Structures are given as C-alpha cells and as structure tokens.
C-alpha cells in the first residue's frame, strides 16, 4: 500500500451528460447536478475518497467553462488542483494531462483515475476495494482496474474477462471486451468469469506514463511540448495542443493493449447513472418511480423528474417524463439512451439556447 503522502486521485469531470438532457446542459452538465441526492455527483465522488486520499492530493480535470463551478462545489481543494481542458478529447488526453501534472508535483505518486458522474450505494465497501487496488498497483507495478460484479446481462457496459487468480478479490485481466449484444452478455453473466468495466483505474505515475508513451506516442509528444511552458503560456500552449489531439478513450488507447493488467473485484452498488432509466433503476424505481408530485391512473414503470409541476399519467406504461423550465422530454423507457440524439438534433438546428 502506498504511503498516504503518495496516494492521489484524478477525477475526470469533463463530460457533457447529453443523455440527461434537458437538465444536463453545456453550462451545468450532469456531474455538476444534484441527481442522486442533496449533493452533486462530483461532490459525492470526492466525498467517497475521504480517508484514502487527502483533499490536497485530489485533482479534478474539467472543461474551461466549468472551472468556477467546480471550485465553488469543492472549496476544500486547492485552486491549482482544478486542471483545465480547453475542449473535450475523451478520457486518454485527460489522463495524460493529469499524469504529466502529477509527474511534476509528485513523481512517486500512485493515483486512482475515476469519472465524476458515477453513483455508489455503499461508500464503505468502495473504499475497502479502492484500498486493495492501491496495494496491488504498488506491488505489481501494473495498471489496476476495478471490475464490478454484474447484476444482470447489461449491454451498455464493457466487460473484463478474468484470468489467473492473484488474491481473494484480485485476478489477472485476460481481455477487455466491448459492449456486447444481449445474448453474449447473458453468456458472460452465466459464466461468472466476467466483470463490468467501471472505468476506474489505479496506477503509479511512472507506469501510466510508460503505457501512454508506448501506445499513444503522438499524444504524449504533443502534450509534453505544451507543458514545457509555465504560467499563462502553458494554458495557451495546452489549448493549442488540444486542438491537434484526436479523441481517444483510456480503454481503447492503452488498456486493451496493455500486456499485464490486474482487476480487483468490486461489489458496492455501482452505477454509471448513464440515463434517466438508469437513475430510476438505481433508486429502485422499477415499479414506477418519480421525483415529482405524480398522479398515475393505470400507469406503471414510469420515471418522472419534475421539480416544479405536478405530472398526471393515464394509461401509459414504461415512459420517462422530464420537465425543465424551458423544455419537456417524453420518451419510452427503452429508448432512454437515445436522448443524446435530441441534443444532436438541437445542435444541427443551431438551437443553442436549449443546449
């Protein structure tokens, strides 16, 4: 286990949350909203690190438009710990930017990288799993991922195929598998040799930099050149560098290519809160759920999010209704993932006031 002084966290808070439209907007995306409780998803993510990573050793990477709001929500973090991305380029550039920053500030660090917009029902068990992952990252000098015990044949997640055992909860990774069709997902769950890919990783700074240099050399050369500058010149150089970068994910860019990866099994009530339907499932809303005053007549399995107005449902099942001051969303529950297409259409029509 790395010393407390060497344990860091990188929270990736640059997403747009398009599947949570109309509440998730450019100005205030999903991770900055109170979706699962009285605190925002970002605040909950940072809260869960308490006792493992000191606040001064937590970095948050976010879009330049959200820096002020991130600092407002996380006053316990030093201002310099909010790293600014000028534009989104998926998760690998975000990781590389943070890892290069840590290499300057704490070259002996071992850090967890994790999304800002996930939900976890049992923070205590999460912290136990994360502590174990930190230990394996230090011992093995290899990337460690946290895999989630599947609760069903989910087609919206990638899967991790398990290899040889290393410990009670740790295994070698045999393969990363892309999001499967339903029949294949059912086989994975039945085999009990697969875990969901949570997108949470623990690694030493030198290990992740070596992986990035090996598998994404052009990205690293571009960012290293930009980070030779200091102060305001660095910010301008990073902005120019990001415009030249191609979007690439951590999974595709390095993890699927890495020769030696460890996975630690996690079972702590995890959800990526990937859609309004997923939020309802998280809140046990399968028999009909709402966060609003609702009158339902012969209606079932609905999801209603309407902070201001009463919603009445008559003779409709499996619907999602989301009310915002300037927009109303109605869709079938099984089409919740397609809400992002509404955002794409708004962009196509240049209806920026609704984005």
- Helix, strand, or coil here: 309? coil
pLDDT at residue 281, as a whole number: 79
Single residue among 219, 254, 271 that ends a domain in this structure: 271
Give the tens place of pLDDT for each residue, 131-171.
Answer: 999 999 999 999 999 999 999 998 889 999 999 999 889 99
Please tell me the distance from the alpha carbon of residue 146 to that of residue 125, in angstroms, as a whole number. Answer: 12
Burial of residue 131 (number of CB atoms within 10 Å: 0-12, 13-18, 19+): middle
Q: State yes or no: pLDDT of 291 exceeds 90.
A: no
Range with the poorest average pLDDT among 1-5, 118-122, 265-269? 1-5
Claim to verify: residue 290 and residue 266 sit in the same structural domain: no
Query: Whole-angstrom Cα distance, residue 279 to residue 119?
Result: 9
Q: What is the DSSP string of 37-75?
A: SSS-HHHHHHHTTTTTS-GGGEEEEEEGGGHHHHHHH-T
Same domain, residue pair 134 and 183: yes
Cα of first residue to Cα of last residue in the chain, in angstroms, is 44
Listed in sequence order, the residues at least 6 apart from 5 whose beta carbon sits closer than 8 Å to its beta carbon are none
Residue 117 pLDDT? 95
The answer to whether 170 and 136 are in contact (CB under 8 A) is: yes
The verdict on whether omega for the bond into residue 22 sits within 30 degrees of 0, i.e. cis, is yes
pLDDT at residue 1 is higher than 90: no
pLDDT in tens, 86-114: 999 999 999 999 999 999 999 999 999 99
Asked if pLDDT for residue 346 goes beyond 60, the answer is yes
- CA nearest neighbour of 77 among 103, 108, 116, 110: 116
- Do residues 267 and 282 share a domain? no
Phi, psi of 37 (to 5 degrees): 175, -160
Taking residue 24's Cβ as centre, other Cβ atoms within 10 Å add up to 23
Task: Determine the pLDDT at residue 292.
Answer: 75
| Contact criterion met (CB below 8 Å) for 228 and 194 | no
Phi, psi values for residue 209, rounded to 5°: -65, -40
For residue 221, pLDDT over 80 is answered with yes
The per-residue pLDDT for 288 is 47
pLDDT value of residue 285: 41
Give the pLDDT confidence of 27-85 residue by residue, as tens digits. 999 999 998 889 999 999 999 999 999 999 999 999 999 999 999 999 999 999 999 99
Angle at 133 between CA 127 and CA 135, to 5 degrees: 110
Q: Are residues 256 and 347 in the same domain?
A: no
Nearest to 174 by CA among 193, 161, 157, 184: 161
Rounded-to-integer distance, Cα 311 and Cα 304, Å: 8
Residues 312 and 222 in one domain: no
CATH number, domain containing residue 19: 3.90.550.10
264 with 281, same domain: the answer is no
pLDDT tens digits, residue range 187-206?
A: 999 999 999 999 999 999 99
**Ramachandran angles phi, psi of 351, nearest 5°:** -90, 65
How far apart CA 241 and CA 221 sit, in angstroms, is 10
Domain final residue, candidates 211, 241, 271: 271
Residue that finishes a domain, picked among 271, 286, 320? 271
pLDDT for the residue 289: 54
Same domain, 197 and 343: no
Nearby residues of 18 by Cβ (< 8 Å), 6 or more positions away: 24, 339, 340, 343, 344
Looking at the 3D structure of the chain, how many domains does it have? 2
The mean pLDDT of the chain is 94
Which H helix or E strand runs over 162? strand 159-165
**307 shares a domain with 238:** no
| CB proximity list for 9: less than 8 A, separation 6 or greater | 49, 53, 57, 58, 59, 111, 112, 113, 114
* 333 in the same domain as 208: no
Domain match, 254 and 281 both = no
Please compute the mean of the pLDDT values over residues 210-235 and round it to a whole number. 96
What pLDDT score does 284 carry? Answer: 60
| pLDDT in the model for residue 290 | 62
The token pair that represents 77 in the structure block: 């973090």
**180 neighbors 299 (Cβ within 8 angstroms):** no
> How far is the CA of 181 from the CAs of 156, 159, 175, in angstroms?
9, 12, 17
The answer to whether residues 260 and 337 belong to one domain is no
Question: Range of 348's domain?
Answer: 276-354
Please tell me the pTM assigned to this model: 0.93
pLDDT: is 308 or 311 the higher one? 311
The helix (run of H) or strand (run of E) holding residue 311 is strand 311-314
Q: State both tokens at 91.
A: 């998760």
Q: Do 168 and 117 share a domain, yes or no?
A: yes
The pLDDT assigned to 279 comes to 84
Question: Measured on CA atoms in the order 8, 14, 17, 21, is the torsion positive or negative?
Answer: positive
């Amino acid at each position: 286990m790395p010393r407390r002084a060497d344990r860091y966290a990188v929270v990736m808070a640059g997403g747009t949350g398009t599947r949570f439209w109309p509440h998730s907007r450019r100005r205030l995306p999903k991770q900055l909203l109170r979706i699962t409780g009285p605190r925002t998803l970002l605040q909950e993510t940072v809260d869960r690190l308490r006792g493992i990573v000191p606040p001064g050793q937590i970095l948050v990477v976010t879009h330049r438009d959200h820096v002020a709001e991130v600092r407002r929500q996380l006053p316990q973090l030093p201002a310099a710990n909010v790293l600014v991305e000028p534009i989104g380029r998926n998760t690998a550039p975000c990781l590389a930017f943070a890892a290069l920053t840590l290499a300057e500030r704490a070259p002996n660090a071992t850090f967890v990288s994790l999304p800002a917009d996930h939900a976890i029902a049992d923070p205590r068990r999460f912290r136990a799993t994360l502590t174990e992952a930190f230990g394996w990252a230090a011992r093995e000098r290899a990337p460690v991922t946290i895999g989630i015990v599947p609760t069903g044949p989910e087609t919206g997640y990638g899967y991790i195929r398990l290899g040889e055992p290393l410990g009670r909860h740790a295994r070698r990774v045999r393969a990363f598998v892309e999001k499967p069709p339903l029949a294949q997902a059912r086989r994975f769950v039945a085999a009990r040799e697969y875990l969901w890919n949570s997108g949470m990783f623990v690694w030493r700074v030198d290990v992740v930099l070596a992986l990035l240099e090996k598998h994404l050399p052009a990205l690293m050369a571009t960012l290293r050149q930009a980070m030779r500058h200091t102060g305001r010149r660095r910010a301008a150089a990073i902005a120019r560098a990001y415009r030249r970068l191609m979007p690439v994910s951590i999974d595709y860019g390095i993890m699927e290519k890495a020769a030696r990866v460890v996975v630690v099994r996690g079972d702590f009530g995890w959800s990526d809160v990937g859609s309004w339907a997923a939020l309802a499932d998280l809140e046990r809303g399968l028999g009909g759920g709402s966060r609003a005053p609702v009158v339902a007549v012969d209606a079932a399995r609905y999801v209603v999010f309407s902070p201001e107005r009463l919603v009445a449902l008559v003779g409709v099942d499996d619907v999602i209704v989301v009310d915002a001051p300037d927009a109303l969303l109605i869709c079938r529950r099984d089409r919740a993932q397609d809400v992002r297409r509404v955002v794409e259409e708004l962009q196509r029509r240049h209806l920026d006031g609704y984005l």
